Amino acid sequence: MPENTQPSPAEVEAAVYAIADRSRHAARSMGRANRALKDRGLRAIGAALLERRDQILAANAKDVEAGRANGTSAALLDRLTLNDARIVALAGALENLAGLPDPVGNVVRGQTLPNGLRLRQVNVPMGVVAAIYEARPNVTVDIAGLALKSGNAVILRGGTAAAATNEALIEVLREALESVGLPADAVQTVDQYGREGANVIMRARGRVDVLIPRGGRELIQTVVNNSSVPVIETGEGNVHIFIDESASEDMAVEILLNAKTQRPSVCNTVETLLVHSGSTVLPAVAAALSKAGVRLHADDRIRAALPASVESVPATDEDWATEYMDLDLAVAMVDSLDEAVKHIRTWSTGHTEAILTNDLRNAERFIAEIDSAAVIVNASTRFTDGGELGLGAEVGISTQKLHARGPMGLTELTTTKWIVQGEGQVRV
């Protein structure tokens, strides 16, 4: 092919299908690998990340510089950026994964029938898992590690914004796997084929077993609406915290600061605050958030109750529906738990909702009446995370109800099969 000539759609399709076929071959090897070998692979990847961090950070610097030049928002730049501490954290997450039980072969249930047949339903790998995601190089390592531990092969599409970083990471991943005797093709990418490569992956039913999109609403809906491959939908996080009238001021301030400002660019960051009209904590909470640089989008009642030193802008319906992923927060006043639940049911994306309360009955009602993947009482919404919940890492946070819901760890990357053992029985 002449230099600088783009491959045709047919050529891209053939190349991506070849990648998928190699992944399926690698998946068979991964499905047979025992825990000890998979754990050696994870530890080898972690060690390689630390050993080659300079190469990874240099590649990442190119992506970040290009992002700034293209006007990428501060929130997205934060997602894109790797630093020494984040690489150390990725290696630590892989070590944690290696320490977790292997889900493959776990017996979900079993029994012996009256006719003597012995039944077991066991967890088995999905096979070939594909992931399409945006500008988050940490996801490259997280998804690969989870897929490998659960006996799968993975195909990654990490987006143009992180192209250099992902290329460096995938090179490290593949070489580390080979070093312990696992197939390098257990981790592959279609980044080199751009958007058309992603389109082909979405059409690769029969070659790819499951597809997981992770990113903003536009990306997720594109995958859901166009994929013939089964999709596990990870949803955006329009996350709510409700402060009821019994919540203490110190707890409310500390939790809101953590939930909004610790890392505002991620999906478990609070985006809407609901305050009971009988609560007295609003001035302190608003002042602390404002001091931390948070811009409040407030309804009329909240604006009237704010201290004079706290600036705000009027909220609109668009604010209640917005996942800011930045230092912005929508704030509304409600007169009851019922009103708070109604607001959440109207605007929530089903990700995470929290209540701050010292009233046990309110806590129990909130848990019972809120239908989201995670419901939290008296803690930060930042805990809706695979690593924080003891899953080692996460592929994403599913807001759907079929197969997987909430942070998706090792078990969520397996399916089940029935094993039936007999001694000559026939059906009558």
Q: Which of 182-191, 362-371, 404-413 has the lowest mean pLDDT?
A: 404-413
**Statement: residue 3 has pLDDT above 60:** no
**CATH 3.90.400.10 applies to domain 239-383:** no
Domain positions in the chain are 9-234+402-420, 239-383
**Statement: residue 318 has pLDDT above 80:** yes
Look over the chain and give the mean of its residue pLDDT values, rounded to a whole number: 94
Tokens at residue 212, please?
A: 């997981």
* Residue-level pLDDT at 4: 59
pLDDT cut 70: percent of the chain above it: 99
* Residue-level pLDDT at 379: 97
**Statement: residue 366 has pLDDT above 60:** yes
Identify the band that residue 303 occupies on the pLDDT scale cut at 50, 70 and 90: very high
Q: Which of 108-122, 157-171, 405-419 has the lowest mean pLDDT?
A: 405-419
Cα distances (Å, whole numbers) of residue 238 to 65, 235, 261, 381? 29, 9, 15, 11
**Statement: residue 82 has pLDDT above 50:** yes
Identify the band that residue 1 occupies on the pLDDT scale cut at 50, 70 and 90: very low
Mean pLDDT within 49-53: 97
Q: Which CATH architecture has domain 9-234+402-420?
A: 3-Layer(aba) Sandwich (3.40)
* Residue-level pLDDT at 173: 98
* Residue-level pLDDT at 135: 83
**Statement: residue 159 has pLDDT above 70:** yes
Q: What is the pLDDT of residues 225-267, one digit of tens each?
A: 999 999 988 877 899 999 999 999 999 999 999 999 998 988 8
- Strand 107-112 and strand 118-125: the pairing is antiparallel
User: By CB neighbour count within 10 A (0-12 exposed, 13-18 middle, 19+ buried), where does 263 fall?
Assistant: middle
Q: pTM (2 decimals)?
A: 0.83
* Residue-level pLDDT at 370: 97
Alpha-carbon span 62 to 169, nearest angstrom: 14
Planar angle of CA 242, 358, 244, nearest 5 degrees: 25
User: In this structure, are residues 200 and 17 in contact, taking their beta carbons and an 8 Å threshold?
Assistant: yes
* Residue-level pLDDT at 325: 87
